[in-house]
Amino acid sequence: MKTNDMERAAPDLRTVSTAALAYLGDAVLEIAVRRRLLECGYASSKSLNAHARDFVSAPAQSRAVERLLPHLTEEERDLFRRGRNIGHTNTPKHATVTEYRLATGLETLFGALYLEKKEDRIAALFALAYPAENTKGED
């Protein structure tokens, strides 16, 4: 990747598809979860993968949304609603339609914040959504 590619201005979020924002946000959340687990002392890949599911499943993400919503700005709420309202044709077997929609809204929000280069806000919202005291430590 060229240096110029990394220095591009953030795209206009109105022109980025909601599905693309959710796709990116899924990766942003995955990195935040992996970092949290490493910081908590998990070391084996088996343990890391098992505990990551406690964060990234649709039911877990929908619970995180409940903790997060009161702390969002109006612009962030709009981004969340945009993702939540995307038309879903497939829902995972382990989640309800509502849980899946809330999870997609969360992913959309985190994807948009990443494109806007708001790393501090991502970290703050992740901490609110997933309080550290809920993460056990060590294998």
26 belongs to the catalytic site: yes
User: What is the rounded distance in angstroms from the CA atom of residue 61 to the CA atom of residue 46?
Assistant: 21
User: What is the rounded distance in angstroms from the CA atom of residue 73 to the CA atom of residue 78?
Assistant: 9
Contact 135, 37 (CB under 8 A): yes
Query: Of the candidates 122, 134, 116, which has an alpha carbon nearest to the alpha carbon of residue 40?
Result: 134
User: Exactly one of 5, 26, 120, 139 is catalytic; which is it?
Assistant: 26
Interior angle at CA 101, CA 13 and CA 129, nearest 5: 80
Helix axes 74-84, 97-115, angle to 10 degrees: 130
Q: Which uninterrupted H or E stretch holds 129?
A: helix 119-129
Q: Which residues are catalytic?
A: 26
